[in-house]
Amino acid sequence: MKITCIAIDDEPLALEKITGFIRQINYLELLASFSNPLEALAFLKGSSVDLLFLDIQMDEITGIELIEILNPKAGIIFTTAHSEYALKGYELRVHDYLLKPYSFQRFLRAVDSFASLSHIVGGKQADYSASIFIKSGNVWKNIQIDQILYVEGMKDYLSIWTPDGRVMTLMSFSKLQDMLPMSHFARIHRSYLVSLDKILEVSKNRVRIGDAYLPIGEAYKQDFFKRLGNP
Judged by average pLDDT, the poorest of 108-122, 130-144, 207-221 is: 108-122
Distance CA 74, CA 91 (A): 16
Distance CA 61, CA 98 (A): 19
* 3-state DSSP assignment of residue 222: helix
How high is the pLDDT of residue 218? 93
Is 131-227 a domain of CATH 3.40.1400.10?
Answer: no
Mean pLDDT of 129-151: 87
Strand partners, 38: none
Reply yes or no: is the peptide bond before residue 101 cis, omega within 30 of 0.
yes
Task: Report pLDDT digits (tens) over 26-85.
Answer: 888 999 999 999 999 999 988 889 899 999 888 888 888 888 888 877 889 998 887 665
The segment(s) of the chain belonging to CATH 3.40.50.2300 are 3-115
CA 91 to chain centre: 18
Domain 3-115 is in which class? alpha beta
Mean pLDDT of 203-217: 94
pTM: 0.52
How high is the pLDDT of residue 89? 52
